[in-house]
Structure 1
Amino acid sequence: MTWHPHITVATIVEQNGRFLMVEESQAGQQVLNQPAGHLEPNESLQQAAIRETLEETGWEVALSAVVGIYLYTAPSNGVTYQRICFAARPVIHHPERPLDSDITAAHWLSRDELFAEPARWRSELVPRCIDDYLAGSLYSLDILRDPRP
């Protein structure tokens, strides 16, 4: 069996002490996650984070930093994900924009509200990324290198 990690991006968007979260369906259950998704062909990590955030929340964002790079193996299926988590600031909201089909809603939640419902976290990376962000674990976007043409 060949092992293939899946590359994903996630975005921490904070405004007035609240975090932009998505409510999505996973295995028939509603869970909370940062705007997140898979890297697509010919896309940079930054482009993927901006695209996923817009598609899942209707918010255009400006990336400001890398929060961290995480490895996570999902206990449900054994798939390993490499998550590059970004920090971003909200720029423009497009409330008329339809959200991705698996997204129920986008919510602004405080850390306390989110941490009060651990059974609803999509994975343990949800709180970990927020706590790393709040701890000031931020790295320059310059550490990322796009492929050369």
Structure 2
Amino acid sequence: MARTDYLDDPDAPDPTSIVIAASAFVIDGGGRLLMIRRTDSGLHALPGGRHELGETMTQAAVRETREETGVDIEVTGLIGIYSNPAHVVQFTDGEVRQEFSICFRARPVSGEPRTSDESTEVRWVEPPELKALEIHPSIRLRIEHGFEQRSEPYYT
């Protein structure tokens, strides 16, 4: 199922749902960031996805990262809460989603990067490489906040 992200677009469709999601800003010992290339949009992104019933938000971040990347993580902090109503995602099945996403800081504990049905590429990215990657502005904001080492979480 393909997706189209809209940000501050007056022609964006109205949302039909809201989804709670978690993402992970995972830095390895060499300062590299774990990134995926999404199968549904082709964009580079942080690993993450939908919160499921019966799990905590940190468990969602750990599960989604493992599913999408093959890397097991430990959550070490909170980067921010992202709920911009001007950012909606339209899917080919007709759903238009306003996401409510919590981005966590994490470190890898085991596993090796590998692709999944949600990721066509998974790799550790050196910070200078990020400028050249095609990343949605909403994800770039989370990455910027992660590298800033903010004393307080970001929230909208």
CA drift at 1:76 = 4.4
- What is the identity, as a one-letter code, of the residue corresponding to 2:144? D
Residue 38 of structure 2 is aligned with which of 24, 27, 38? 24
**Gapped regions of structure 2 (runs ≥ 5):** 1-13
Residue 118 of structure 2 is aligned with which of 89, 97, 102? 102
> CA distance change for structure 1 residues 111 and 2 in 2, over 3 Å: closer, same or farther?
closer
- The 8 Å contact of residues 12 and 19 in structure 1, kept in 2 or not, is answered as yes
Match of 1:88 in 2: 106
Match of 1:34 in 2: 46
Match of 2:130 in 1: 114
**Gapped regions of structure 1 (runs ≥ 5):** 141-149
The root-mean-square deviation of aligned C-alpha atoms, in Å, is 2.3
TM-score computed with the length of structure 2 as normaliser: 0.75
Q: Secondary structure at the match of 1:26?
A: coil
Task: Say whether 1:65 aligns with 2:77.
Answer: yes
% identical equivalent positions? 28
CA distance in 2, matches of 1:134, 1:2: 31
CA distance in 1, matches of 2:139, 2:15: 28
Runs of 4+ in structure 1 off by over 6 angstroms are none
> CA distance change for structure 1 residues 114 and 131 in 2, over 3 Å: closer, same or farther?
same
- The 8 Å contact of residues 39 and 119 in structure 2, kept in 1 or not, is answered as yes
CA distance in 2, matches of 1:92, 1:19: 15
CA distance in 1, matches of 2:151, 2:35: 19
TM-score computed with the length of structure 1 as normaliser: 0.78
- The 8 Å contact of residues 65 and 138 in structure 1, kept in 2 or not, is answered as no
Match of 2:7 in 1: none
Task: Say whether 1:8 aligns with 2:33.
Answer: no
Match of 1:44 in 2: 56
- The 8 Å contact of residues 65 and 139 in structure 1, kept in 2 or not, is answered as no
